[in-house]
Amino acid sequence: MKKDRVLFWIVTGMSGAGKSQTINCFEDFGFFCVDNLPVALLPKMADLCAQSGRPLQRVALGIDIREGGFLRDFFATIDNLKKHNVDCRIIFIDADDRTLFRRFSETRRRHPLGTSVREGIEQERKRLLKIKEKADKIIDTSNLTLSELKQTLGGLLERRSSNEMQLTVVSFGYKYGLPVDVDIVWDVRFMPNPNYKAHLREKTGRDAAVRRYVLATSQAQLFGKRFFSLVAESLPHYIQEGKSYLTIAIGCTGGRHRSVVMADALRNYLVQHGFKVRVHHRDIDR
CATH number for 119: 3.40.50.300
Tell me the pTM: 0.58
Q: Is 83 helix (H, G, I), strand (E, B) or coil?
A: helix
DSSP string, 225-274: IIIIHHHHHHHHHHHHTT--EEEEEEEESSSSSHHHHHHHHHHHHHHHTT
Residue 241, pLDDT above cutoff 70: no
* End residue of a domain, out of 133, 156, 179: 156
Name the band, by pLDDT with cuts 50, 70 and 90, for residue 270. Answer: very high
Tell me, what amino acid is at 83? Answer: K
For residue 173, give the H/E element and its range. strand 166-173
User: For the chain, what is the radius of gyration of the CA atoms?
Assistant: 21
**Which of the residue ranges 37-46, 119-128, 132-141, 167-176 has the most confident prediction, judged by mean pLDDT?**
167-176
Q: Is 46 helix (H, G, I), strand (E, B) or coil?
A: helix
Q: How far is CA 265 from CA 101, 210, 253, 277, in A?
A: 38, 13, 18, 11
Q: What are residue 75's phi and psi, to 5 degrees?
A: -65, -40
Are 90 and 191 in a shared domain?
Answer: no
pLDDT one-digit tens code per residue, 11-65: 999 988 999 999 998 888 878 898 888 888 888 888 887 776 554 667 899 887 6
37 and 63 in contact (C-beta within 8 Å)? Answer: yes
pLDDT one-digit tens code per residue, 184-214: 999 999 999 999 999 999 999 999 999 999 9
Query: Hey, what's the torsion of the CAs at 236, 239, 241, 244, to 10 degrees?
Result: 160
Q: What is the mean pLDDT of residues 77-82?
A: 84
* End residue of a domain, out of 127, 156, 185: 156
The number of distinct structural domains making up the chain is 2
Supply the range of the domain harboring residue 81: 6-156
Q: What is the mean pLDDT of residues 257-279?
A: 94
Are 151 and 181 in a shared domain?
Answer: no
Asked which of 23-32, 48-57, 231-240, 248-257 is least confident by mean pLDDT, the reply is 48-57
Are 137 and 38 in a shared domain?
Answer: yes
Are 275 and 218 in a shared domain?
Answer: yes
Whether 270 is in a domain gets the answer yes
Determine the Cα–Cα distance for residues 251 and 170; give it in Å rounded to an integer.
8
Are 224 and 90 in a shared domain?
Answer: no
Are 34 and 147 in a shared domain?
Answer: yes
Phi-psi map region of 89: left, alpha, beta (phi>0 left; psi -120 to 50 alpha): beta
- Say what the pLDDT of residue 280 is: 94
